[in-house]
Amino acid sequence: MDHFPLMTAVVSTGTVALAEIGDKTQLLALLLAARFRKPWPIVGGILVATLLNHALAGWLGTLVAQWLQPEVLRWVVAASFLAVALWTLKPDKLDDAESGIPAKGAFVATTVAFFIAEIGDKTQIATVLLAAKYSPLWQVVVGTTAGMLLANVPVVLLGSKLADRLPLKAARYTAAVVFLALAAWAAIRGIG
């Protein structure tokens, strides 16, 4: 990835932006926008929650990369990207538990709800995998955060009109192809 200085950030942005379309956190963004009707505090909450969550996920990814031998890590990452590709094909639905968002403060509610909803989500797992494969870590975190914002800010700003027009099935298939390509790349080229 040295041939283009910000390639890690670009790959991370595109991967997460595609994976986020139709994801439960995107549905959560729509719910928050409809409930609070204050787009900028919601966008700020998404930014803060994603930075914190993905920084922790990225850090975990770099630790995994250090613990495992390169050949083992190569196949773990390839298999994981393949699993995320398959997972991407399954549409998410917003869980009933996530609809009990506190009514006080759009920013605080968004930050807390997004941080919690992102735990174990495919975009968080993608962040772990991207950080295990690519460096520097800051580019992965900036890229995955930018990807989350690219996918969620339009939903927040345009509300349900945009959500009704998104070709979610096509987006899921595109995201699955991206993860399959990353799995193949990891399997063929290895890590590093």
Q: What is the pLDDT of residues 73-92, one digit of tens each?
A: 677 767 777 776 776 676 65
- pLDDT at 144 exceeding the cut of 80: yes
Give the position of tokens 């393949």. Answer: 82
Look at residue 21 in the predicted model and tell me its pLDDT. 85
Look at residue 175 in the predicted model and tell me its pLDDT. 65
Measured CA to CA in angstroms, residue 111 lies from 23, 77, 115 at distances of 17, 29, 6
- pLDDT at 99 exceeding the cut of 50: no
For residues 99 and 2, give the distance between their C-alpha atoms in angstroms, rounded to a whole number: 43
Mean pLDDT to the nearest integer, 32-47:
86
Residue 66 banded pLDDT, cuts 50, 70, 90: confident
Measured CA to CA in angstroms, residue 4 lies from 9, 11, 80, 100 at distances of 10, 11, 25, 44
Look at residue 127 in the predicted model and tell me its pLDDT. 92
Taking the whole predicted model, whether its pTM rises above 0.85 is answered as no
Task: Report the run of H or E that residue 49 belongs to, with start and end.
Answer: helix 39-67
Angle between helices 106-118 and 24-36 (to 10 degrees): 170
Mean model confidence pLDDT for the chain? 79
Look at residue 105 in the predicted model and tell me its pLDDT. 80
Q: Are 110 and 41 in contact (CB under 8 A)?
A: yes
Least confident of 2-16, 46-60, 137-151: 2-16
- Structure-model confidence comparison of residues 60 and 36, the more confident one: 60
